[in-house]
């Protein structure tokens, strides 16, 4: 608009110089005033537009700030949810581990309850064992039952797989004389089965013991004692778990 005003003034100036009369300058001044009024109106309109744009921009900026606050709030909620999800996941993993431990323990207990064995001295033939000048382990080689494989027909020893209560029985038979055997827990002598007669003799004994896992139970033939066995299986050693502890 300023360019238009300057141009009009230049035109009027040139026109005034050419005609050199005052009367001819009056229309030009009127045109200048009209142009000024137009410029003023245009400036006023421009100011209104600027105010409107400023108000609009301020409103949009407020909306953007509000949206940013909402996004930050949602991000915080999402972070809290992720933290909660991780906590729940950790708790579930711990619960699963505890449940697996309980399942393993129950399996272990179930396996422990399935411990039982029964065996006799000879698998075939007949034999008199003893006498010896010291206690010797009796190895019961003819295994009838060995649930849990806790009894060894090689060593004649039973090894407790779990802590619990166990019951054992051992039966002896001999042609006469001194027949005796003692049940031993590790190196501790528990109970003895004993008989001394001139003819055939037999003796029996039983005991319930609390054993720790790894405890060893076996039957020892007393020194100077004898036992006699055949395929009729007179001499036996048996045991089973009563319950875990």
| pLDDT-wise least confident of 28-32, 87-91, 149-153, 232-236 | 28-32
Nearest C-alpha neighbor of 240 from the set 153, 144, 165: 165
Cα distances (angstroms) measured from residue 27 to each of 20, 23, 216 = 14, 8, 134
Asked whether residue 223 carries a pLDDT value surpassing 80, the answer given is yes
Q: Please provide the average confidence, as pLDDT, over all residues in the chain.
A: 85
**Strand, coil or helix: what is 32?**
helix
**What is the spatial distance between Cα 214 and Cα 158, in angstroms, rounded to a whole number?**
9
Structure-block tokens of residue 60: 């949009």
Lowest mean pLDDT among 40-54, 121-135, 143-157: 40-54
Least confident range of 34-43, 128-137, 151-160: 34-43
**Which pLDDT belongs to residue 47?**
81
- The H or E element that residue 201 is part of is strand 201-211
pLDDT at 104 over 80: no
Would the pLDDT of 25 be above 60?
no
- Is the confidence at residue 27, as pLDDT, over 80? no
Asked whether the predicted pLDDT for residue 52 surpasses 90, the reply is: no
Residue 192 CA to residue 180 CA, distance in Å, equals 7
Q: Which two tokens stand for residue 220?
A: 């020892």
The confidence score (pLDDT) of residue 243 equals 93
Give residue 44's pLDDT.
Answer: 80
Output the pLDDT for position 145. 97
State residue 171's pLDDT score: 96
pLDDT of residue 68: 85
The answer for 145, left when phi > 0, alpha when psi is -120 to 50, beta otherwise, is beta
- The pLDDT score that the predictor gives to residue 222 is 94
Q: Please count the other Cβ atoms lying within 10 Å of the Cβ belonging to residue 147.
A: 15
Regarding predicted confidence, which is higher, 87 or 147?
147
Over residues 165-214, the pLDDT tens digits come to 999 999 999 887 788 999 999 999 999 988 876 666 788 999 999 999 99
Read off the pLDDT band of 22 (50, 70, 90).
Answer: very low
pLDDT exceeds 60 at position 3: no
Write the burial class of residue 125 (CB in 10 Å: 0-12 exposed, 13-18 middle, 19+ buried). Answer: exposed
Round to whole Å and give the CA distance between 237 and 218. 9
Whether the per-residue pLDDT at 6 is higher than 80: the answer is: no
Sign of the CA dihedral 33, 34, 37, 42? negative
Residue 109: band (very low, low, confident or very high) from pLDDT cuts 50, 70, 90: low
The count of residues in the chain is: 245
Closest listed residue to residue 143, CA positions, set 131, 158, 130: 158
């Amino acid at each position: 608009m300023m360019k238009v005003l300057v141009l009009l003034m230049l035109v009027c100036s040139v026109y005034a110089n050419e005609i050199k009369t005052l009367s001819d300058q009056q229309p030009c001044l009127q045109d200048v005033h009209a142009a000024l009024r137009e410029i003023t109106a245009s400036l006023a309109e421009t100011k209104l537009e600027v105010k409107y744009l400023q108000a609009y921009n301020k409103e949009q900026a407020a909306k953007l700030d509000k949206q940013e606050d909402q996004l930050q709030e949602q991000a915080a909620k999402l972070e809290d949810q992720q933290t909660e999800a991780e906590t729940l996941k950790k708790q579930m993993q711990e619960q699963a581990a505890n449940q697996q431990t309980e399942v393993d323990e129950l399996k272990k207990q179930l396996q422990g309850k399935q411990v039982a064995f029964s065996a006799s001295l000879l698998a075939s033939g007949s034999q008199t064992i003893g006498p010896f000048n010291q206690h010797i382990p009796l190895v019961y080689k003819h295994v009838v039952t060995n649930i849990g494989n806790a009894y060894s027909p090689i060593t004649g020893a039973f090894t407790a797989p779990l802590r619990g209560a166990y019951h054992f029985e051992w039966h002896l038979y001999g042609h006469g004389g001194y027949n005796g055997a003692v049940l031993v827990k590790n190196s501790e002598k528990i109970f003895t089965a004993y008989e001394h007669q001139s003819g055939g003799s037999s003796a029996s004994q039983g005991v319930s013991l609390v054993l720790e896992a790894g405890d060893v139970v076996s039957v020892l033939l007393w020194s100077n004692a004898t036992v006699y066995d055949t395929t009729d299986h007179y001499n036996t050693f048996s045991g089973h778990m009563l319950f875990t502890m």
